[in-house]
Amino acid sequence: MSDLTEIPNIGPATARALIAAGIPDSAALRGIGAHEAYRRLLMAGERPHFIGYYVLHMGLQGRSWNDCKGAEKGDLRARFDALVAEVRGVPLSGIEAELDRIGLGNSSTSRKKS
């Protein structure tokens, strides 16, 4: 396992997801930052979840996940929503496109529930 779990709020499952998204260790994560790391997670197929987004931000600051409140949380929510909208604009390919075509994929209408 990588040293990603040494960052506050990052457990084994998140570490595995980050590694699968091409972020192998804490140095790489710190180098690209939470926003770009979350973009890569989404591009690798992770479902968008706001808590996961701000957990990364708090962890890289050495803060507890539940320390995110008020205006800071509002700002992060706006950035998260913009990121998700941006990533959803990326066309699907391969099996994802075919599943979406027949109504079994993560089309924009089904993704809005996330």
> What is the C-alpha to C-alpha distance for residues 36 and 86, in angstroms, rounded to an integer?
12
pTM of structure? 0.75
Q: Does pLDDT of 113 surpass 50?
A: no
CATH superfamily entry for domain 3-111 = 5' to 3' exonuclease, C-terminal subdomain (1.10.150.20)
Task: Give the Å distances, CA to CA, from 105 to 42, 93, 97, 100.
Answer: 15, 11, 8, 4
47-56, 82-91, 100-109: which range is least confident on average? 100-109
- Per residue in 23-32, pLDDT (tens digit) is 999 999 999 9
- Spell out the domain ranges in the chain: 3-111
CA angle 98, 109, 111 (to 5 degrees): 85
pLDDT at 111: 41
- Per residue in 30-58, pLDDT (tens digit) is 999 999 999 999 999 999 999 999 999 99
